[in-house]
Structure 1
Amino acid sequence: MEKRTKHPQDTTEQAAFRAEARAWLTARAPLWGDGDGWSTRTTHFDVAAEKAYMDRCRQWQRELYEGGWAAIDWPIDHGGRGGERWQQQIFQQEVARFDVTSGFLAAGIALAGPAIGHFGTEEQKVRHLGPMLRGDMVWCQLFSEPGAGSDLANLSTRAEPDGDEFVVNGQKVWNSSAHLSDWGILLARTNPDAPKHKGITFFLLDMTTPGVEPRPIRTINGSAHFNEVFLNEVRIPTENVVGEVNGGWSVARLVLANESTMIGGGLGRADSTANLIELARRWGKIREPMVRQELARAYTREKLLDVMGRRLQESLRRGRQPDLDGSVLKVYWSESRRDRGNLGVGMLGGFGVAGDHEDTKVWGNEALNRFWGSIGGGTDEVHRNNMAERVLDLPPEPRVDKHVPWKEQVGG
């Protein structure tokens, strides 16, 4: 392993922290390429394989927690280290060099954790944040519905008050790992007489509650990572409301902003142009002019994504509000992922979609999943609207339903 640990951007303090993180990781995990590569095998085709992978992710998350690395920039009394955001960023850079992962647990922590930490009560923080960071509890997101995807605020799942509980009925969809999750963050409509953005409440839902039924969705590549979740007379205690009743959209916006930044900044080993270059060599395409041009384009995009990510990190290191909108990263990442997949499949020709070659399994799956990046975490079209309004300060799209009660919009 290379001995140099200091990056050009690091201060003396940051270099010392990087060395500490790298030493801890080296003592507990194999370098990428020296392990069995389990951390990037995220597509599983049976429940046993899914569960085994999740158990291994839980084990690593527990090691992170016990070592004080699970949430470096969270308060100490909530299970974190009480550190700075730049420390969290440096640790993420270092851990990417090793064959370990918290898998889907990390997504739940990144989305549910800040929502509870910022808007939750002290009781909610004490009850949920520690178990979340230890890997004891896996969290999923219950936002999208069959009729409320890009226009999430149009959701129709209802939560009606009944004493010290809310009774929830409705359906959610595209809920990652809901069938393996212990808790979920849920949006439900609590006031149909209010405009659609103002009558929504944010709940914490115990997934073992009677009436909660996750149904895995078998996708085109054969996996069942996504779910639809049916909610039938589900009772949620009022103490599980995060923020104000009917004020859940503010909490949801924080979650959605974190989600787009998380996805856009999620360039990992599997997305590396080095994999494409090696594929071109294996299949004798490395000297073809058009392939070389596309490899150069993919490499350029990878480096630009890295620069944008570092720009965000530098803002955090200096304690500033990030000056790069998360939607910019998300759209650029999804476009890069699409083009990278097309290039890989194209180099294989017919083997890109058929046959039993090992490369076919990898890139055929990439072809089948080519639209995931442009849909998951908000469609590219929605994020482009966000960029137009937030970054370019263009006039917003006309919203004739902005002040209209939700029930009038749906004919209810």
Structure 2
Amino acid sequence: MGIIAIAAGAALALSACAGGSAGSSSPQSIDGKITGAITFQTWNLKAGFKDYFEGLISSFEKKHPGTEIKWLDQPADNYAQKLQAQVTSNSLPDVVNTAPDLAYPLAQAGALLDLGKADPKAKSLYLADAWDSTKYADPAGSFAYPWYLNTGPTFFNKKLFTEAGLDAAAPPKSYDDMLKQAAQLGKAANGKFYMWGNVPTIIDLAENGVKVITADQTKFTFDSSRAEELLKEFKAAYDAKGILPAGLSASYTGVGDAFMSGQVAMNSGSAYDLKNFDKNAPELAQNLGIAPAFSSTGVYQMSVQDLSVSSKSKNTPTAVAFAKYVTNAENQMAFAKIVNIFPSSTGSLDDPFFSKTDGTQNTELRVAAAAQLKSAESFRPPVFTAAMETYVQQQFADAILGKTPIKDALANAVAKCNQLLG
């Protein structure tokens, strides 16, 4: 969803007839004269970045006389459903803002150009892990150009840490450590506030070394002893009043607000959040601590936004040229200097903008996040649907609440995911 929510977490039930035979987007020629009109669709970006995109479009049109880029921007809500409707009605724009899980069902429907076949040299233009996030096993191919990235960190409230007797100068750097400190905080705060407010996800499991799915993405495998151990730690922290009870509800979406109001002491986020804290939570901003994202493997979660090209485009050369123009190193760097996101273009993260700090909190966060991205990958499998996510969350919450044995909850979750995958 534009800048704020990178991962869509949704899947579209698209039939093969909606955009061609499933997985059959044949490699169209990207050669030819760059001219004529194309449509370009973004996801909730016009309100905040109108000047940037209008300037980008204007510069492309000047560079390629005879071209015309018609910019569409969809609202944040129901973007997945909008894409579904566009594919069904054969009106998908030529260049469209996607994410790995959004592009996957479109690729299955044959609605996206396989850029791995159509433009094989493009791979070298982007970070390897970012490019890999655009690749699917079924249909086999790469169905987007990576665009902008984000990752971590973990934010914490120094004041609440101190009140609970924790060392604000040594915040937890792993889930194991956080959950141990959550139990300590729970005993000290006794329900006045909590350490954490989220049910663990399969991304959390992956960051802790759990193999979530097979390499060919045909079978979920996260019911491991390591996953069981992590859920036991969550349960112990919950029993000690270290986990926000409301956070275990499937309908709860307020953990961000709970962190800003001082109801929870620690929360994951992104570099974009700093402006929000300054504007809407000044007391938190004065007591804000920043720690790396949790990882027991040294590999961090990377959220990715992409640009895909419609396999039905009547102007493929211009569509591909524009998508690559938006995602080239120069234009990604310009965008990164407007908002706290990170470029996927090769070599860009080595720029001093991402490696040198001036001592301010914003630059320290930017440098730390850029370093994380050099050893980051997208842990959420694109085949992991919203229905799977809902069921997994419910099983994990029941395990933490003691309603279901942990081993059974993991087995149930894996079985359900594999059933839905099949």
**Per residue, is there more helix in 1 or in 2?**
1
TM-score band, normalised by the shorter chain?
Answer: under 0.3
Higher relative contact order (CA 8 A, sep 6+): 2
**Please, what TM-score do these two structures have when normalized by structure 2?**
0.23
**Please, what TM-score do these two structures have when normalized by structure 1?**
0.23
